[in-house]
Amino acid sequence: MARAVSPVRRTVTTVAAWFIGFIIFFPILWMALTSFKTELEAFSTPPKFLFFDWTLENFGIVQERSNYLKFAGNSIILSLGSTLVGLLFAVPAAWAMAFSPGRRTKDLLMWMLSTKMMPPVGALIPIYLIFKDFGLLDSRGGLITVLFLLNLPIIVWMLFTYFKEIPGEILEASRMDGATLWREIVYVLTPMAVPGIASTLLLNVILAWNEAFWTLNLTTTEAAPLTAFIASYSSPEGLFWAKLSAASTMAVAPILVLGWFSQRQLVRGLTFGAVK
Amino acid sequence: MATRHTRALAYTAVTPSVVVLFIWMIVPLGLTLYFSVLNYNLLDPGNESYIGFLNYEYFLTDPAFTAALVNTLKLVGGVLVITVVGGTLLALLLDQPIFGQGIVRLMVIAPFFVMPTVSALIWKNLLMHPVSGLFAWLAHSVGLEPIDWFTEAPLVAICLIVAWQWLPFAALILLTALQSLDQEQKEAAEMDGTPAISFFFYIVLPHIARAITVVILIETIFLLNVFAEIRVTTGGGDATTNIPFMVYAQALLQFDVGGASAGGIVAVILANIVAFFLVRMIGRNLEA
Amino acid sequence: MSGKIILRGVNKSFGDVTIIPSVDLEIDDGEFVVFVGPSGCGKSTLLRLIAGLEDVTSGRIEIDGVDVSDVPPAKRGLSMVFQSYALYPHMSVRGNIGFGLKMAGENKDVIRQKVEKAAATLNLANYLDRKPRQLSGGQRQRVAIGRAIVREPKAFLFDEPLSNLDAALRVQMRLEIAQLHESLATTMIYVTHDQVEAMTLADKIVVLNAGNIEQAGSPLDLYHHPVNLFVAGFIGSPKMNFLATDVRATGPDGVTVALPGGRDIRVPVAAGVLQPGAKVTLGVRPEHLKTSRQGELTGTVIVAERLGGETYLYIRPAEGPLFVVQADGNDSTRVHDRIAVGVDPETCHLFDADGRSLARLRRHPLAGALQASQQAS
């Protein structure tokens, strides 16, 4: 900014922005606070904001009674697993599209992205039946496969945009230096693309962690991740708000932290490059 | 940069991804099409028979279908309006010089990263509960009767929940676009004495028009398929069932594979129609 | 092992667009060849075709007697220095220089030895463990050269290596590259748009225009005997002065043309099929014009550029275009002065209506004998 903004204006906008930001964030804050209350206090009116009996009991109960860690473990396995498999397929593909483009590369990329536009219900029945017949229902492998296929287009797309930023001349230099294609990818491309690969990993782990269609419909107990676990609170018995809050806070906290670091990746990954 | 050698290897490098995605596209869709012309119910297996377009007829003439279609459009439309307008306003606000802008951004962006089941249940219980929810308490404190959201206006409630989740996305995208507005354009407008409203409509809006169309396009794709929030709050019901939920219910609750498949195909066609019109309507704004 | 490179009928097209119609060229082992020409003339493309970074659409490239059309760049035995240096940002200087040897499977001690030797030659010994981002432009350039040298290639390819350096550094690096060629005696193919680099470094200059070789020959050959207007205008700075005129008479001692201001001049070139009255272009370099009382060309000085060592006078004659004269640094002519300039016919060039030069009756002693392969098509 060339000139300083009037302090009055700055204060007004700051207050307005903080106020609105707080309101938007409030449900999450409220959820976190509720997780430290007893069930009675959680349900009581008028609601207590800060001055209540803080307790950690809910976190323990959630783990004891419903084995929270198992579901968390599943979330980790499913999101990490599907993203890693995705990277395995996507790195060579994105390399090919970024550095050896053909006439139809752009079309291919668009087609890949378009596969994400298919409504999941269009595939629900066959996938469900196939999984049923092959014993893949409620299996981690099955879910990893589905999540991998769901996110593959985005992983390829994001890697493609990151690879395109690497100067082609450096890869050419490695070719002149005698590197075969494989060595070019391993010794030169990958080390240079590490930040891009990390960003892609980050965003897609988040997307897979939050996926709530296939994870709800294809799992029951063994492979159910946190999305399904929380869903089980939709028809509970008795007082459950504090426990729900505790479980939710734990389910959401790691992703919130990761998400805060991946804002730019979000824009890059989900707008398909149309917005810079 | 591409030579014969690299191109041959490039081919091999791309093939696994293409094959895998192709199968993921074709196989389920093909099977759904196949099932949609059968009389196939999981409760009565082995008795499938070909019935042509009967499933489609039943599905499309079912009054629940029209209701679901309307709900779908209301939901998508409502969320779009809230997120685009709200997102633009938010973006304009965040573009101003503020103290602690980083923290405000973090607060605003958080809802997008909360999983749908958590959002839905937190809103339904902690906030919207007509007796002990926070909104009820707020209403009482200003002397109003609290709204029993999920009885009186369930679709509105779901719309709010989904909009809350997507507002950060719209705001972030639009903020990014806003920040790419040339500083010098702003200064030139100032020197010309342009009033703020005109500045917004004649300079800012055209600049972010493309970002807005991207937001609309991408949100629509995801909003047509809202599922978890519905399942976890109302479990369906006439007022809140949308097309995806209707198909799901028919498939996994009524076990009518044939009927649900027809519904699935209808959903796919619907999505394609919407995508087609959307892209055409705003096609000029997008890069091909 | 020889660095002899032969190009036959090399054509490069992208679909309907032809970048290089057809190139025939022979480069001898140990020769320093410079590809020079304006932007977009195809010089970098030609280099990349030789390197193997692009495929030829048709034609052959032979390196050391072997047809390399199907050989990938890694196996052609060439090294390339890129305009942007293209150093590996995540590796140290040591890693960058040694990468090629590592790819070739050399043993670690041999690599260390060779890298240190190359680094010493290039004054990089103290920087071996630094990363490229910690180096200056000139140092990065040296690392790029070191990386190329250490593999002991059959030929070096340079793609506008000095373009990103500032003027002073450019002169210094030019010197170093010339000395490098002296000591290694390996074939070097060098691409530049700067004709000064071309003139100072080359054994042979290849002037390219829109994908065609206009002329290939030694620097002085091109300077004294340009085959057409393009080459004549490209080589030499400031540019050669061109004057449209017509033939007055032809004879065994040369062709007589009219000069503005009424006088004639007889240029010692072969008339060929030219008849009196034919339109020709007279060319004479600024450094060959001398201020003189009895000079044939007159005009008013409109700009005087004083560089100290020499002075460039821009003169507007009564009719015709501006021309430039290189005068001595101590010349006292001022702007707005009327001035007369003398023309020595020995230094003039004549070009016919198609832009082709008329052959001189006597070749310049330093230009070397005319070779059949140096004539433009």
A174 interfacial to chain C (CB closer than 8 Å): yes
| pLDDT exceeds 80 at position B6 | no
| pLDDT exceeds 70 at position C367 | yes
Say if CB A159 and CB A89 are below 8 A apart: no
Give how far C105 is from chain A: nearest CA, Å: 10
Q: Identify whether residues A87 and A165 lie together within a single domain.
A: yes
Averaged pLDDT for residues A111-118: 83
Say if CB A125 and CB B260 are below 8 A apart: yes
**Cβ contact, residue pair C75, A180, below 8 Å:** no
Number of CB atoms found within 10 A of residue B72's CB: 23
A27 interfacial to chain C (CB closer than 8 Å): no
Whole-number percent of chain B with pLDDT over 90:
22
Q: Which of A177, A184, A186 to mutate to test the interface with C (most CBs of C within 10 A)?
A: A177
Structure tokens at A173: 């230099």
In a domain, B103, yes or no: yes
Phi/psi at C251 (nearest 5 deg)? Answer: -170, 180
Nearest CA in chain B to A90: B17
Q: Which of A34, A57, A80 is the last residue of a domain?
A: A57
Q: Identify whether residues A116 and A172 lie together within a single domain.
A: yes
- The mean pLDDT value of chain B amounts to 85
Chain A residues inside the 8 Å CB shell of B101: 17
When CB atoms are compared, the residue of B29, B121, B260 closest to A230 is B121
Interface of C with A in 102-131 (CB under 8 A): 103-104
For B155, the domain range is: 58-285
Q: Which of A31, A57, A83 is the last residue of a domain?
A: A57
Neighbours of chain B (3+ CB pairs under 8 A): A, C
Residue count (chain C):
377
Q: How far apart are CA C340 and CA C315, in angstroms?
A: 10
* Structure confidence at residue A1 (pLDDT): 46
**Cβ contact, residue pair B5, C72, below 8 Å:** yes
Chain C residues inside the 8 Å CB shell of A180: 74
* Structure confidence at residue C350 (pLDDT): 93
B5 interfacial to chain C (CB closer than 8 Å): yes
**Cβ contact, residue pair B116, A212, below 8 Å:** yes
Whole-number percent of chain C with pLDDT over 70:
98
| pLDDT bucket at C217, cuts 50 / 70 / 90 | very high
Say if CB C157 and CB C80 are below 8 A apart: yes
**Cβ contact, residue pair A25, B24, below 8 Å:** no
- The interface pTM score, or ipTM, of the predicted complex is 0.83
* Structure confidence at residue A13 (pLDDT): 86
* Structure confidence at residue A74 (pLDDT): 92
Give start-end residues of each CATH 2.40.50.140 domain in chain C.
Answer: 238-357
Say if CB A265 and CB A202 are below 8 A apart: yes
| pLDDT exceeds 70 at position C72 | yes
Choose which CATH entry (1.10.3720.10, 3.10.129.10, 1.10.3710.10, 3.40.50.300) describes domain C5-230. 3.40.50.300
| pLDDT exceeds 80 at position A190 | yes
| pLDDT exceeds 90 at position C312 | yes
Neighbours of chain C (3+ CB pairs under 8 A): A, B
Domain count, chain A: 2
C53 interfacial to chain A (CB closer than 8 Å): yes
**Cβ contact, residue pair B132, A44, below 8 Å:** yes
For every residue of B62-108, DSSP letters joined together read SHHHHHHHHHHHHHHHHHHHHHHHHHHHHHHHHTS--TTHHHHHHHH
- The mean pLDDT value of chain C amounts to 90
Helix, strand, coil share (%) of chain A residues, nearest 5:
75, 0, 25
Give how far C86 is from chain B: nearest CA, Å: 14
Averaged pLDDT for residues C67-73: 88
**Cβ contact, residue pair A24, B108, below 8 Å:** yes
**Cβ contact, residue pair C80, A188, below 8 Å:** no
A52 interfacial to chain B (CB closer than 8 Å): no
| pLDDT exceeds 60 at position C180 | yes
Q: How far apart are CA C245 and CA C235, in angstroms?
A: 22
Averaged pLDDT for residues C104-127: 90
Say if CB A238 and CB A59 are below 8 A apart: no
- Residues 6+ positions from A232 with CB-CB distance below 8 Å: A66
Give how far A229 is from chain B: nearest CA, Å: 9
**Cβ contact, residue pair C88, A178, below 8 Å:** no
When CB atoms are compared, the residue of C79, C87, C88 closest to A176 is C79
Helix (H, G, I), strand (E, B) or coil at B49: strand
Question: Is the model more confident about B221 or about C232?
Answer: C232
* Structure confidence at residue C294 (pLDDT): 83
Q: Identify whether residues A112 and A229 lie together within a single domain.
A: yes
* Structure confidence at residue B2 (pLDDT): 63
Chain A residues inside the 8 Å CB shell of B183: 1-2
Interface of A with B in 55-84 (CB under 8 A): none
Question: Is the model more confident about C14 or about B7?
Answer: C14
| pLDDT exceeds 50 at position A221 | yes
Give how far C97 is from chain A: nearest CA, Å: 10
Residue count (chain A):
276
Give how far B284 is from chain C: nearest CA, Å: 29
| pLDDT exceeds 90 at position C115 | yes
Give how far A267 is from chain B: nearest CA, Å: 6
| pLDDT bucket at C165, cuts 50 / 70 / 90 | confident
For A142, the domain range is: 68-270
* Structure confidence at residue C210 (pLDDT): 92
Q: Which of A169, A171, A176, A186 to mutate to test the interface with C (most CBs of C within 10 A)?
A: A176
> Which range (A203-217, B136-150, C345-359) has the least confidence?
B136-150
In a domain, B37, yes or no: no
> pLDDT tens for residues C324-338?
999 998 888 889 989
| pLDDT exceeds 60 at position C222 | yes
| pLDDT exceeds 50 at position C370 | yes
For every residue of B137-162, DSSP letters joined together read HHHHHTTPPPP-HHHH-HHHHHHHHH
* Structure confidence at residue C369 (pLDDT): 67
> pLDDT tens for residues B205-259?
888 887 888 888 888 888 989 999 998 888 888 888 998 998 888 888 888 888 8
C51 interfacial to chain A (CB closer than 8 Å): yes
pTM above 0.80, yes or no: no
Averaged pLDDT for residues C128-156: 92
Give how far C46 is from chain A: nearest CA, Å: 15
Give start-end residues of each CATH 3.40.50.300 domain in chain C.
Answer: 5-230
Q: Which of C44, C50, C55, C82 to mutate to test the interface with B (most CBs of B within 10 A)?
A: C55
In a domain, A63, yes or no: no
Neighbours of chain A (3+ CB pairs under 8 A): B, C
When CB atoms are compared, the residue of A1, A156, A275 closest to B176 is A275
| pLDDT bucket at B284, cuts 50 / 70 / 90 | low
In a domain, A276, yes or no: no
In a domain, B243, yes or no: yes
In a domain, B83, yes or no: yes
Domain count, chain B: 1
DSSP 8-state symbol, B41 = B
Q: Identify whether residues A23 and A157 lie together within a single domain.
A: no
Residue count (chain B):
288
Give how far B262 is from chain C: nearest CA, Å: 47
Q: Which of C53, C61, C82 to mutate to test the interface with B (most CBs of B within 10 A)?
A: C53
In a domain, A184, yes or no: yes
Helix (H, G, I), strand (E, B) or coil at B197: helix
Whole-number percent of chain C with pLDDT over 90:
62
Q: Where does C238-357 sit in CATH, by number?
A: 2.40.50.140
Say if CB C144 and CB C86 are below 8 A apart: yes
* Structure confidence at residue C375 (pLDDT): 45
Chain C residues inside the 8 Å CB shell of A187: 99
| pLDDT exceeds 70 at position A25 | yes
Chain B residues inside the 8 Å CB shell of C54: 1, 3
Averaged pLDDT for residues B127-154: 85
Chain C residues near any Cβ of chain B (below 8 Å): 52-55, 70, 72
Averaged pLDDT for residues A144-159: 92
Chains A and C form CB pairs within 8 A to the count of: 60
Give how far B4 is from chain C: nearest CA, Å: 7
Amino acid (1-letter code) at residue B16? P
Chain B residues inside the 8 Å CB shell of A276: 176, 180
Domain containing B81 — which CATH number? 1.10.3720.10
A131 interfacial to chain B (CB closer than 8 Å): no
- Under the phi-then-psi rule, with left for phi > 0, alpha for psi from -120 to 50, and beta for the rest, what region is B210? alpha
Structure tokens at B18: 């293409």
Question: Is the model more confident about A60 or about C157?
Answer: C157
| pLDDT exceeds 80 at position B5 | no
* Structure confidence at residue C373 (pLDDT): 46
Averaged pLDDT for residues A226-254: 84
Nearest CA in chain B to A117: B221
**Cβ contact, residue pair C82, A178, below 8 Å:** no
**Cβ contact, residue pair C52, B3, below 8 Å:** yes
Sole residue written with tokens 């804050």: A29
Nearest CA in chain C to A168: C86
**Closest-CA residue to A145 (of C29, B260, B28):** B28
In a domain, B183, yes or no: yes
Chain A residues inside the 8 Å CB shell of C90: 191-192
| pLDDT exceeds 80 at position C123 | yes
In SS3 terms, chain C reads as CCCCEEEEEEEEEECCEEEEEEEEEEECCCCEEEEECCCCCCHHHHHHHHHCCCCCCEEEEEECCEECCCCCHHHCCEEEECCCCCCCCCCCHHHHHHHHHHHCCCCHHHHHHHHHHHHHHCCCHHHCCCCHHHCCHHHHHHHHHHHHHCCCCCEEEEECCCCCCCHHHHHHHHHHHHHHHHHHCCEEEEEECCHHHHHHHCCEEEEEECCEEEEEECHHHHHHCCCEHHHHHHCCCCCCEEEEEEEEEEECCEEEEECCCCCEEEECECCCCCCCCCEEEEEECHHHEEECCCCCEEEEEEEEEECCCEEEEEEEECCCCCEEEEEECCCCCCCCCEEEEEECHHHCEEECCCCEECCECCCCCCCCCCCHHHCCC
Give how far C144 is from chain A: nearest CA, Å: 10
Helix (H, G, I), strand (E, B) or coil at A225: coil
Q: Cα C185 vs. chain centroid, distance in angstroms?
A: 20
Chain C residues inside the 8 Å CB shell of B8: none
Q: Identify whether residues A124 and A156 lie together within a single domain.
A: yes
Q: How far apart are CA C359 and CA C370, in angstroms?
A: 11
* Structure confidence at residue A3 (pLDDT): 58
